[in-house]
Amino acid sequence: MFIGRFLMRLLLVPLGGSTAICVGMLFVMVAHWNRVAAVTADDDGGLTTFLVLVPMLAVGSGVMLMPAALGAMIAEAFAIRSWMYHVANGGLSAAVSLMSIGAFNKTYDLSDEPLIAIGAGIVAGFAYWAVAGWSAGFWKPVFKPPQPVPQPPVTPA
């Protein structure tokens, strides 16, 4: 039981992280849809630019959400399963990443809005919770059998 749950966590946590990166990337692309469409419209069908843009955004989202890995490790260690924790972890890690690279003072082509980056972190945190965070902690079972209700002691009359 213990080994099986541990192996399940070894599969779910990276899957949740990958899902969070993809969802964060999609959030940024939808938020900047006019710019993405303008960049991809110059190509023949936009396939070449799209194939360059998507991996670039995925790497950027992955690097930006790296501080969230610390929060995910804390959630796994203490079996924190709250969606609010994971959403706050995603938003806070995006804000910490933006502050550490100084992005609040700079402008970039597809990431000049800090609010969009923090929103991507929030959405990514929720996506992580939906895949892996709701069952965090390999030592704490998700579904426990119901405990029997103790009967009150019978006193002789």
44, part of any domain: yes
Confidence class for position 29, pLDDT limits 50, 70, 90: confident
Q: Give a yes or no: residue 150 inside a domain.
A: no
User: Is residue 36 in a domain?
Assistant: yes
What pLDDT score does 106 carry? 61
Q: What is the CA radius of gyration of the chain?
A: 21
pLDDT of 136 > 70? The answer is: yes
Q: Please give the tally of structural domains in the chain.
A: 1
Q: Cβ–Cβ contacts within 10 Å for residue 40, how many? A: 17
- Identify whether 142 is part of a domain: no
Q: Which domain holds residue 68?
A: 2-135
Window from 9-13, 15-19, 50-54 with minimum mean pLDDT: 50-54
Residue 81 is assigned to a structural domain of this protein = yes
State pLDDT tens for residues 66-102. Answer: 888 899 888 888 888 889 999 999 999 988 887 877 6
The answer to whether residue 140 is domain-embedded is no
List of residues 6+ apart from 64 with CB closer than 8 A: 24, 93, 94, 97, 98, 117, 120, 121
Question: Is residue 153, in this structure, part of any structural domain at all?
Answer: no
Q: Is the pLDDT assigned to residue 20 strictly greater than 80?
A: yes
